[in-house]
Amino acid sequence: MPHITYIDAAGHSATHNLPEGWNLMLGAINNGVDGIVGECGGSCTCATCHCYVDEARLSDLPPVGEAEASMLEFVAAERRPNSRLACQIKATAALEGLVLHLPDTQE
């Protein structure tokens, strides 16, 4: 189970072990992480699980798909080159130690 760290806009961090195959939005919600809303339940239709991935780890992630790229156009906070939707990232052993920074708003 990879350890994933979520850091909110105020700088508070929480590290959780996520079962492999879970998406990182589900991991955040199931562990009570503030800053991830996930209104659509992970179907890539709401952009309320926007996060910023540490740039050094971007190459560890699968590429942004067409649906995710479309939804990233609608994020409430600033979109950056390292913006991703947590619902589109699956927990795998390769993501051990991944850090996600959460924006100050999702809506």
pLDDT of residue 33: 97
Burial class of residue 27 (count of CB atoms within 10 Å of its CB; 0-12, 13-18, 19+): buried
13-51 pLDDT per residue, tens = 999 999 999 999 999 999 999 999 999 999 999 999 999
At 11, the pLDDT band (50, 70, 90 cuts) reads very high
**Measured in whole angstroms, how far is the alpha carbon of residue 20 from the centre of its chain?**
15
Looking at residue 67, what is its pLDDT? 98
Of the candidate CATH numbers 2.102.10.10, 3.10.20.30, 3.40.50.740, 3.40.640.10, the domain formed by 3-101 belongs to 3.10.20.30
Q: pLDDT band for 93, please (50, 70, 90 cuts).
A: very high
